[in-house]
Structure 1
């Protein structure tokens, strides 16, 4: 009797270990290169005010961050963006926005970052958002 119960329990445990839990396919989360795991913002910003333009957290090493800038009051120029690590103070190079008003920074280290929008001598306002994948 005990051998039969022990054998049945062993078969169930091995089945769960080998085949996974009994979840349905609709419950399984899918990760891809398009769907952000976390969105930070939108943050309103004003260039040239000496303030950071938003904050985000990369929860794991190797994450990609896409910066989106919208609602620029003066769009006669191409804004540049960068990310600065809150702990180390190190920043990515200033990068121009692409034609769709985004810039993606790849392989970011885990940590908290501040976003910065630079427009040279032109002062403007807008909205910034960060998608972390």
Structure 2
């Protein structure tokens, strides 16, 4: 399997400095700063990138689980809300709320929910993050 890379460059001190984050092949690149991370400033931040990775991984895992069950999805759309909280240990990602909506012909709500939960458990990014952060899931089937 290939090894994936990403890089970050930071200039200046924590509160006044700024930087850029880039994926290895340049598919994503964004500016980040103290304000984009801890306030509401322009740019991205590491937590958003973790959320994007988690949403993308979960969507793929869920699509596979659905197809393996004989119900190939028309679409799966997932949002990950990453909670960064101050704890005794310092700033910590404490919870990620996955919210997914799937358009999947020929499946009922119960099977959809069961397969979504299975995908959450089997998604490599969920497995990476779950020892340190609570991961919740809300799954909604659309027609």
Q: How high is the TM-score relative to the length of structure 1?
A: 0.29
Greater helix fraction, Structure 1 or Structure 2:
2
Q: How high is the TM-score relative to the length of structure 2?
A: 0.27
Larger radius of gyration: 1
